[in-house]
């Protein structure tokens, strides 16, 4: 009995330190894309509840809606995008959103259903990449690192297919919606696919033809509206995400395809 009382007291103190009243449970609506992000949030939800926060996970099928929903107040946070994509959305759409923590890195990779290696790509091969600016540039840089094409060094994250000055075999670069690339794989010679969509389609990033380094600038981030950074429940969410049990879940579930970024 004494141990039970002591446990309740300790939990109450912990919740109070986060700014919660005793016994109070806060609800946070968190937007994610389906697949790995949603799976990870299930593990995060267990840890968040220990900290007095109940997560309501809202799944989306694309990269556009989660930021729009966060900006209009339909969500309290989202967790699906890397920092360059967030910055591009802020510039293009004027969103007052801010990153509060790094979460995981999904090294992007190139796949082919037609060819066993990059050397087997035929002349005039079609290389498919995401059609959004940041992931498209990321894909082009990956293809450049594989020696398939050449880009200006000064362009940084802003490169587009128009910047391609040379391809190894007269390759054609085709832009498609990121969520459709896995489905289009049989129709192109090679596709650079975001890892969350690749895993959802049953592809193994560790068996891809070319994979981005895990030490990339494309770490995913947990995002809230500007001004909400100091909310106690947001701080509790960050602690829950960056906890040891969640790190263990990621390693056990994805076996290196998804990498903790904290």
* Residue 111: per-residue pLDDT: 98
Q: Does pLDDT of 9 surpass 50?
A: no
Q: Structure tokens of 21? A: 């009243």
Q: What is the pLDDT of residue 169?
A: 95
Torsion sign, CA atoms 116, 118, 121, 127: positive
The answer to whether the beta carbons of residues 218 and 82 sit under 8 Å apart is yes
Q: What is the mean pLDDT of residues 94-121?
A: 97
Looking at 3.30.420.40, 1.10.3720.10, 3.40.190.10, 3.30.450.20, the CATH number of the domain 2-106+217-260 comes to 3.40.190.10
C-alpha dihedral sign at 207, 211, 214, 218: negative
Residue 14, pLDDT score? 47
Give the per-residue pLDDT at 2: 36
The domain locations on the chain are: 2-106+217-260, 109-211
Instruction: Tell whether the model's pLDDT for residue 7 goes beyond 50.
Output: no
Structure confidence at residue 13 (pLDDT): 43
pTM as predicted: 0.77
109-211 and 2-106+217-260 share a CATH fold:
yes
- Alpha-carbon gap, residue 123 to 172, rounded angstroms: 9
Q: Provide the mean pLDDT of the chain.
A: 91
pLDDT at 163: 95
Mean pLDDT of 157-182: 95
Dihedral angle, C-alpha 61, 132, 175, 161, nearest 10 °: -170
Separation between Cα atoms, residue 168 and residue 142, nearest integer Å: 14
Residue 237's pLDDT is what? 98
Q: Domain 109-211 adopts which CATH fold?
A: D-Maltodextrin-Binding Protein; domain 2 (3.40.190)
Q: Which of 5-9, 111-115, 211-215 has the highest mean pLDDT?
A: 111-115
The pLDDT, as a whole number, for residue 24 is: 81
Of residues 70, 110, 67, the one with CA closest to residue 87: 67
């Amino acid at each position: 009995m004494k141990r039970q009382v002591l446990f309740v007291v300790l939990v109450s103190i912990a919740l109070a330190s986060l700014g919660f009243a005793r016994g109070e449970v806060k609800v946070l609506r968190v937007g994610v894309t389906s697949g790995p992000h949603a799976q990870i949030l299930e593990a995060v939800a267990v840890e968040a509840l220990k900290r007095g926060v109940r997560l309501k996970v809202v799944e989306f099928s694309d990269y556009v809606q989660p930021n729009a929903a966060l900006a209009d107040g339909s969500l309290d946070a989202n967790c699906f995008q890397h920092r360059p994509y967030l910055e591009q959305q802020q510039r293009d759409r004027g969103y007052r959103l801010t990153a509060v923590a790094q979460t995981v890195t999904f090294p992007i990779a190139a796949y082919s259903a037609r060819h066993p290696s990059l050397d087997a790509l035929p002349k005039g091969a079609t290389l498919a990449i995401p059609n959004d600016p940041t992931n498209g540039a990321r894909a082009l840089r990956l293809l450049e690192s594989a020696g398939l094409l050449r880009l200006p060094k000064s362009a940084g994250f802003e490169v587009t297919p128009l910047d391609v000055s040379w391809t190894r075999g007269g390759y054609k670069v085709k832009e498609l919606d990121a969520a459709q690339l896995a489905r289009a794989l049989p129709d192109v010679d090679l596709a650079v696919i975001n890892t969350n969509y690749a895993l959802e389609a049953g592809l193994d990033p560790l068996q891809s033809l070319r994979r981005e380094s895990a030490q990339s600038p494309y770490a995913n981030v947990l995002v809230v509206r500007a001004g909400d950074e100091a909310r106690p429940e947001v701080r509790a969410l960050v602690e829950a995400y960056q906890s040891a049990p969640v790190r263990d879940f990621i390693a056990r579930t994805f076996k290196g395809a998804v990498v903790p970024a904290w």
